[in-house]
Chain A
Amino acid sequence: MLSRTVKNTLFASALRIALFISLAILIFLIGAILLEGFKALSPSFIVSEARDFGAAGGIRYQLLGSLILIIVAAVLVVPFALGTALYRSEYVTSEKLGRCIDLTIFSLNGIPSITYGLFGLIVFVNILGMGVSWLIGSILLAIMILPTVTVSTHQAMRAIPNIYRESALALGLTRAEMVRKVILPQSLHGLVTGLLIGLARAIGETAPIMFVATAFSGVTWPQSIYEPVSTLPTHILALAQQATNPDALRNAWGASLSLIIIVMILSGLAFIARRKLEPQRSM
């Protein structure tokens, strides 16, 4: 029979191996992208326009297109995520309804991203006849990240001890005043963190926007909401299809690295936001 010390050592070793394998995969992946991506990445690559279907030039409009999509998605998702989380946290008294809302939100999170693309194509393009538009892309990305932002905000609200609510109400504050003065400031970190994590996911998505919001080449700055944009993920996809062309492949690595840098910045900001905005409660 193994002694307790041996069992502990074996268990710790198994955990170390799991950690090592996970880190090794991550380091290999990022290392490969860094190694290949830096060959293409330069200031001129960032600011110059793509030429020869992306095999030459840079990623200026793809970068701008991706940023437009996620910035507008962020603006669109905040009121809905905040409203849903607030309603779920502060106004739903029936447990059954609460569970129903939770189930809906979690189910929404499990929908494959291509389904959002298909939904956008059928509803916005075919039925509403809006054509290919970057705004539809932003709307679809906003719908896609809605569960992430809602759940993160709701969890921050749930973490507020009930005594804060009661203390505010006992002072004669209305429910709306209590929400404004107690709930919102103390759950802001959840909203911001969820939003940044959601955007970090959204900026790398291809499937939801592929049919309805983007063009693979020849697109510059959109002049209206009814025009498509080019984005980094669709650009990478287009370049990867020209894998026999070494220039296109090099630019694909460069675009991938740019995308990863943006994702890392958003994730890093989410981490900082959680630390900086989390309220210092006394209990």
Chain B
Amino acid sequence: MPKPELKLVGVETQTSAVSLKGFQAWFGETCVVQDMTLELPANGVTCIVGPSGSGKSTLLRGLNRINEDISGYAMKGQVLIQDSCAKDGFKDITELRAKVGMVFQRPCVFPCSIKDNVLFGVKNKRLSKLERAALVEESLKSAALWKEVAHRLDSPASTLSLGQQQRLCIARTLAVKPDILLLDEPTASVDPTSARALETLIKNLKDDYTIIMVTHDIRQTRRIADNVLFLCDGQVIEMGSTDHMFSKTAKPKTKTYLSEEFCDC
């Protein structure tokens, strides 16, 4: 019997950016995401939290179908991105991925210049040199990196610090003009100062983009999330506004986990 759709608790009805209908995911015989039906709101930051192995990253990676290149991966159900089915609602998978950008845990800059990294995913060959330069500037400004690299756009991207590299990865994703940003533990590999800079950046981007972020950092979730989705053992335990999840929840599992106490899901 299909599970009822989960709605956000503690917030007014919002437009949904992502809807899941009976979404399930497997690696081989192991079901890592079990029958999820929910809606994630447009704009703002939705943090997906939960213990290791709870299916957070698998869920996130199911949204832009990046897991489909992994041998043994299989999914069921429906993922709707702004009401278009992720499987067949887009011209092809590349259009979906351009719409749903993704930044990974470890900053991954390509072995080329900062400028070329920003333009790496830009396919429009008709852009003039000036238009390309403007796009580089706009993307780097949006990623709060412009001031630090404006004088050395042709330098190798590998010369940047890890925090800067992660912001460059965000700039590269923004250059493709996505509507949704998937962030898979984007601050996990950087130092606390860079992590704070990334948090500020994420907060600044949330008005223009729908940000769905996986994190293990509960305090970070409290600082930047508008909504929280708590998973355990591949199931949604609770979903609601940050205020509701941290202060008003009645569910003991949510309370225990978000208070950073031991949680035996």
Contact = CB atoms under 8 A, between A and B. Distances in A.
A29 interface: no
Contact of A169 (B69, B106, B110, B173): B69
A172 B106 contact: no
B169 A280 contact: no
A167 B104 contact: yes
A19 interface: no
Interface of A is mostly: helix
B176 A185 contact: no
Contacts of A280: 111, 156, 158
Contacts of B89: none
Interface in A249-283: 279-283
A154 to B, nearest CB: 18
Nearest to B158: A282
Interface string B162-180: 0001000100110010000
Contact of B111 (A93, A170, A177, A281): A281
A151 B222 CA distance: 50
Chain B interface category by residue count: 20 to 34
Nearest to A167: B108
Interface of B: 64, 66, 69, 71, 92, 94-95, 97-98, 101-102, 104, 106-111, 120-121, 123, 156-158, 165, 169, 172-173, 176
Contacts of A167: 104, 108, 110, 169
A13 interface: no
Given A170-B101, A172-B121, A279 B111 contact: yes
Given A164-B108, A181-B120, A171 B158 contact: no
Contacts of A283: 106-108
A215 B165 CA distance: 60
Q: Which 10 A-B pairs have the closest CB atoms?
A: A171-B121, A172-B98, A279-B111, A170-B102, A282-B158, A172-B97, A172-B94, A167-B108, A163-B108, A282-B109
A168 B121 CA distance: 7
Contacts of A163: 104, 106, 108
A167 B156 CA distance: 18
B58 to A, nearest CB: 14
Given A93-B71, A170-B101, 18 more contacts: A163-B104, A166-B66, A166-B69, A169-B66, A170-B173, A172-B98, A172-B176, A173-B94, A173-B123, A174-B92, A185-B111, A186-B111, A279-B111, A281-B158, A282-B107, A282-B111, A282-B157, A282-B165
A177 B102 CA distance: 18
Contacts of A177: 123
